[in-house]
Structure 1
Amino acid sequence: MDKFQALNELSCEVYQNAVDHGFYDAEHKIAEAAGDDIYTHEILQHLVFGQRIALINSELSEALEADRLGRFAKHVRTVEYALAQNSSFEAAFRAGIKDTVEDEIADALIRILDLCAANNIDIGTHVRLKMEYNSRRPKMHGKKY
C-alpha cells in the first residue's frame, strides 16, 4: 500500500472511531426525524458539512492559542512508554501532551480525515494530485508570503 492510500485507510479508521463514540448519533436522529437518509436532504447535508468545517477551524484556533501560551508537547517518549506498558497512559497524556500545539493539530487532522470518510472523499488521491500540482508551481506560488 502506498502512503496516499494509507491516508484513505486512516480516514476510515478515524471515521469508525467517531461513529463508535457517538459523534454521528445526532445525524442519525436528524435522519430519523426527517424520515429518510440525511444525505438525501441537501440542506441537512450542508448544515452537517458546515458544522464539521467549523469544528476543524475550532481545533486550529485551539492550536494557535496553545502556541500563544507556549504549550508544546513534552515528554512524548514517556507517554509512548506508558502506552507500550499499558500503565497510566491517560495520566501521562494529560500531563505531557493534552492541549498542546501538537495535540490540537492532531485533533484538526483527525477531524479532516473524519470529514473525508463521512463524505466519501478519496483524500489520498487528492493529496497526491495536489502535491504534484504544487511541485510544478513557481517559488512561493508567485506570492509574497
Structure 2
Amino acid sequence: MDYKIYNVETLTRLSQDYHQRAVAKGFWDKRHTEGHYFMLTFGELHEAIEADRLGKWAKLTPEQIERLRSLEGEEFVKEFIRLVKGTVEEEIADTVIRLLDILGYMIEYRILSDEETSTDLGVSSFYIEGVTTLADTLWPILQEACYLCAKYAHRPAILYAIRSLELTCYHMGIDLMAHIDLKIKYNETRPRLHGKKY
C-alpha cells in the first residue's frame, strides 16, 4: 500500500505545519501534560463513533472533494458544514491532525532526538478484516496506542495510530488526506481561541 501520510518526509512536514497552525489558533497558549493532549486527541475518535451511531458519513465522491477544494470564503464554509461537519470522516481527520500537532510539538521542543525524527518509522499498523462496527475497528487502535505510550514512548504510539487510521480509512474508501486538507481549510476560517480551554 502506498501511504500518503505515513512516510518520514510527509509526517515531518505536516506535523510541523499543523503544530504551527495550532499555536497560531491559541491551542498551545496554556501548556498541559502530554496525557491531556492525548485524551483530547482520542476524544475525536469518540466523536467519530458518535457520528457513526447517528449515521453521519460524508461519503464524498472525488468530484465533490474537488468542488469543495475550489470554493472559497463563506461559500466553502457553508458547503463544508453541509457536507462534512460532524461526520465520521471529519472526526477521524481531526484525530490525525491532532496527532500530527503533538508530533510537531515534540519535534519543535526537541523532545524527540534527530534520530527519532528521521529514522525508519518501523511501526506496525492495524486493521480488522470483515464486517465490524466502527467502534470495534477503532478500539484496538486506541488500546494499542495506550499500551505503546505506557510501555515505550509517545512517538511510537502516535505513529502507530496515524498509520492504523490511514489504513482503516483506505479500507473504508475514505480519502483521509483530502478530508484533512478540507478540515485545515475550514479551520483557517475560524477565529483564534478566546479564553476557550484546550
TM-score (norm 2): 0.50
2:69 — aligned with what? 83
Change (3 A) 1:124 1:96: farther
Do the aligned partners of 1:66 and 1:100 also contact (CA within 8 Å) in 2? Answer: yes
2:96 — aligned with what? 109
Do the aligned partners of 1:79 and 1:89 also contact (CA within 8 Å) in 2? Answer: no
Cα separation, 1, equivalents of 2:9 and 2:90: 24
Deviating more after overlay: 115-124 vs 105-114: 115-124
2:40 — aligned with what? 55
Backbone CA RMSD of aligned residues? 2.5
Deviation at 1:123, TM superposition (A): 6.2
Q: Answer with 1 or 2: which has the greater Rg.
A: 1
Cα separation, 2, equivalents of 1:113 and 1:75: 24
Deviation at 1:85, TM superposition (A): 3.8
Q: How does 1:12-27 map to 2 (within 5 A)?
A: 12-27=16-31
More helix by share: 1
Give the secondary-structure state (helix, strand or coil) at the position aligned to 1:26.
coil
Deviations 1:52-71 (A, max 9, x none): 01101210100011111111
Change (3 A) 1:21 1:108: same
Do the aligned partners of 1:7 and 1:123 also contact (CA within 8 Å) in 2? Answer: no
Cα separation, 1, equivalents of 2:37 and 2:25: 16
Deviations 1:11-66 (A, max 9, x none): 10100000111111122xxxxxxxxxxxxxxxxxxx42111011012101000111
Give the secondary-structure state (helix, strand or coil) at the position aligned to 1:108.
helix
Q: Which runs of 5+ in 2 are unaligned?
A: 1-5, 126-139, 141-198
Q: Which runs of 5+ in 1 are unaligned?
A: 28-46, 135-144
Cα separation, 1, equivalents of 2:51 and 2:88: 5
